[in-house]
Each structure stands twice: as C-alpha cells, then as structure tokens.
Amino acid sequence: MTDVLVSGLTKYYGTKPALRSLDLSIGSGEFVTLLGPSGCGKTTTLRCLAGLERPTAGKITLGGRVVVDTDRSLFVPPDKRHVGMVFQSYALWPHMNVAENIAYPLKVARVPRPERVSRVRELLEAVGLTAFERRQVTALSGGQQQRVSLARALAARPGIVFYDEPLSNLDTKLRYQMGQQVRSLHNQFETTSVYVTHDQEEAITLSDRIIVMNHGLIEQEGTPEEIYDRPRSAYVADFMGFQNIVRGTVIERGDERVGVRLLDSEIVLGAYADADLSLPLGAEVTVAFRAEHVRLAPAGSVAIGRVRGTIKRTTFVGSGYNLLVDARGTTMRIRIARSELDSHDLSTPAPGEEISFDVNPRRALIVADEAGMSRPHATQAVRLPAPIR
Ligand code: ATP
C-alpha cells in the first residue's frame, strides 16, 4: 500500500521556486530519506507533507486520505493529518516533565487516562527513559531530549512519522546510537518514515530507499547500495563522495566496458556503462570514481586504466594515506591502504615521488553531467545508465 503520494508538488517563496512539480510515492512501512545539499528543497518537501507549509500547487495523499489538493483549495491542517514529527531542535514543552511531554498529544486526542498512562510507559521503555519519567526536560542531555521527542512523535500511534534532521545537534557517537534507535522504533511501531538529512552516512545506514534532491526536483532514487555504488549523474556522484570526476572521450566500446581517453591527456581509463547505453566513439563523457577504487601498480609499468603521476600531497588518515596526484596535468585523488603499501614493500608515500596505479574499471562510472550524458562529438542519443545491483 502507498502511504505517501505526492504529485506536482510546487512551492514558490516569492518568485523563487523551492519545489518544481515534484512527484513522490512512498510505500506503507518504508523508511525513505530525502537527501541533498542545503537548499535542494528537502525540508520544504517535508514541511509540505506535515502541513507546516502550504504548497503553491500539487496534491498530497497520506494514508489514502487527500490532505492537499490545490485544485480544490483543500488543505488539511497539521494537527488533523495524524502524523508524527521530530525536529532538529527537539521542540519540547520546557514547563513539562518527560512523561507530560510524551502524554501531551494523547491528551489533545482525548485518549482516556488509563490508556495514556500505559502508552507513556510503553514509550518510555522503548526509548530507555523509564527512570527519567518525572524529570523536567530542561534537565536532560541533548540525546535524552531527542529521545523524549521521538517518544512524543509516536505517542498517538501515527501511521507516518516525519523527521527533520533529528540528529544534527548531537555528537558523532550519539548520532550513530540515536540513528539506530530511530530505525528500531520505526520497525517496532511499524510506521512509515520520511527522514530528511544532508548526511549521506545517516541516509545509507537508516533507509530502505534514498531520494537525492537537486533544486526542487528528484535527481535519483534507489536503495542505499544503488545510490552509493551507482550514482547516475556527476551531481549525485559528487554528493556521495566520488572524489574524482573527470571528462574524456570514448575511444573504445565493449559490452559494459568503455575506454575513455581523458581530455588533454594520454591517460586511458576503463569505465563501466550499461550494455545498451548508446555511447558512440568520440562522445565526450564524464567519468566518476572513488579515491579508494585504485590499486598500486609496479612503478613505470604500462596498461589500460593505469595512471602514472607525481604525488603532490600526502595526508595520513589512519588506515592509509590520501594522495593528491598530478597525472600529467590531470589531478586525481586516491587512497592507498597501509596493507597495500606493505604488500608492495613500500614505505610512506611522499610528495615528489612517482606513483603508478590502476583505476578499477567496474567502479569507474560513466555519469551524466549537467548538460546531459555527452557533448558535441556524440552523434546518437544517449540515455542514463540503469543502476546495477
Ligand atoms: P537545508 O538543509 O539548508 O534546510 P533544504 O534542502 O532543506 O536545505 P529548503 O529549506 O527546503 O532546503 O529550501 C529550499 C529553497 O527554498 C532554498 O533556496 C531556501 O532558501 C528557500 N526557502 C526555504 N524556506 C524559505 C522561506 N521561508 N522563505 C523564503 N525562501 C525559503
């Protein structure tokens, strides 16, 4: 069953569009994250879903009930949508204690007292705050306050819960623990969850599906693995931490393998592209790969996909080294694990040294850039590669 259905959602602030006719469908019980950089429209989407923002145009259906339809001037206010909401700022009532905060939505919904008491107990236990029942919320740590806010959002048993960057105010370790708690509450209370964050790691570890937004539209959606491993555009690749995004020309085309000669360079990389993707020889394309998807090669050796360059900067990152390499005029960022250095009997890489490495052709992807997949030399239409699993 579909729990959240959005069509043509548009929001203007003055003359500036924040959402540009967005379509979205979220299944019952799904945990979906809206991910993207600041200003891409994820919070505006969430606030429209929760009823905290009035869309300029569009239709929103929650749990089978239409709550927004601008054609019919229909707008159901937030308190009538039967949804839960968790904010970055916790938004607790400072004059109430922990139990009173959690019970508040139940009071408003006129849930009888005995049931209120048992539900508050159940939630206190679920978030591990039973011992803090009578504590004023102002006397709690940030993590504890956010747990009260999670419990309060779930108190009225909403089918859908919206999370607006709920972990951003917490330190790294607590963020991880709280993230796990959010996901286990989602499972325990069998809610549908829509979660907003700009943190890719949070999105990957919590979600069933990730929706990457760009300027008020969906850029790509997929499972965490698809988004992490197979970004389809340079925008998503860049956001998901592909440190190398380079341009080149197609010089060879196999089933899924493409040989790309980098622009203004003699370097030829092997890259992955969908077998049915039309990429004619001579097409100008963008290739993206992660710093860690390289392997050291014997110095001075030659092979397709092998890059020779000079180390410009070395940064120790614990498990290995991040290297900035000048490959005959093309800058590349690579990461070499210590174990790999050991197996090559090499010591610490130092600036000025020559280095040779192979870029893994299964992990170097042809991605669309802002102008589309290819440029002037392409003679045929091209389409985006489908994600592989
Ligand atoms: P962030 O992570 O920084 O909150 P976001 O991806 O959630 O970013 P939104 O907050 O949805 O993005 O904002 C989308 C666009 O709408 C931005 O350009 C923002 O400046 C603009 N915007 C958001 N709220 C308002 C407002 N109340 N008035 C005017 N412009 C707004």
347 lines ligand 1 (CB under 6 A): no
Confidence band for 204, pLDDT divided at 50, 70 and 90: very high
- pLDDT at position 389 is 32
Q: Is the pLDDT of residue 326 over 70?
A: yes
Question: How many C-beta neighbours within 10 Å does residue 202 have?
Answer: 22
Of 72, 54, 75, 59, which Cα lies nearest the Cα of 4?
A: 59
- Could you tell me if 220 and 277 lie in one domain? no
- pLDDT at position 372 is 59
Cα(383) to centroid(ligand 1), Å: 31
Structure tokens at 122: 């159940």
15 lines ligand 1 (CB under 6 A): no
- Could you tell me if 85 and 209 lie in one domain? yes
CATH assignment at residue 158: 3.40.50.300
Confidence band for 274, pLDDT divided at 50, 70 and 90: confident
Confidence band for 142, pLDDT divided at 50, 70 and 90: confident
- Could you tell me if 199 and 55 lie in one domain? yes
**Is position 375 within any domain?**
no
- Could you tell me if 213 and 345 lie in one domain? no
For the ranges 116-130, 168-182, 218-232, the lowest mean pLDDT is seen at: 168-182
For the ranges 167-171, 199-203, 267-271, the lowest mean pLDDT is seen at: 167-171
Mean pLDDT of 287-293: 96
Number of domains in the chain: 2
CB 44 within 8 A of CB 11: yes
- Ligand 1 atom 5: residue of nearest CA: 39
CATH assignment at residue 249: 2.40.50.140
152 lines ligand 1 (CB under 6 A): no
- Could you tell me if 147 and 207 lie in one domain? yes
Helix (H, G, I), strand (E, B) or coil at 51: coil
| Structure-model confidence comparison of residues 339 and 62, the more confident one | 62
**Is position 374 within any domain?**
no
- Could you tell me if 216 and 365 lie in one domain? no
- Could you tell me if 183 and 249 lie in one domain? no
- Could you tell me if 101 and 216 lie in one domain? yes
Ligand 1 atom closest to the CA of 47, numbered from 1 = 11
Domain that holds residue 254: 234-369
| Structure-model confidence comparison of residues 374 and 164, the more confident one | 164
Helix (H, G, I), strand (E, B) or coil at 343: helix
Average pLDDT of every residue of the chain: 90
Q: What angle do CA 243, 178, 190 make, to 5 degrees?
A: 105
- Could you tell me if 133 and 263 lie in one domain? no
DSSP assignment letter at 344: T
**Is position 65 within any domain?**
yes
Which segments within 133-205 are labelled E, that is strand?
160-164, 192-197
Mean pLDDT of 353-367: 93
| 11, 38, 45, 89, best to mutate for ligand 1 pocket (most atoms within 8 Å of CB) | 38
**Is position 215 within any domain?**
yes
- Ligand 1 atom 10: residue of nearest CA: 43
Mean pLDDT of 373-388: 37
**Is position 221 within any domain?**
yes
For the ranges 13-17, 85-89, 302-306, 317-321, the lowest mean pLDDT is seen at: 302-306
Task: Report the percent of the chain where pLDDT is more than 90.
Answer: 71
39 lines ligand 1 (CB under 6 A): yes
- pLDDT at position 371 is 63
Cα(330) to centroid(ligand 1), Å: 36
**Is position 349 within any domain?**
yes
**Is position 157 within any domain?**
yes
CB 68 within 8 A of CB 6: no
CB 242 within 8 A of CB 289: yes
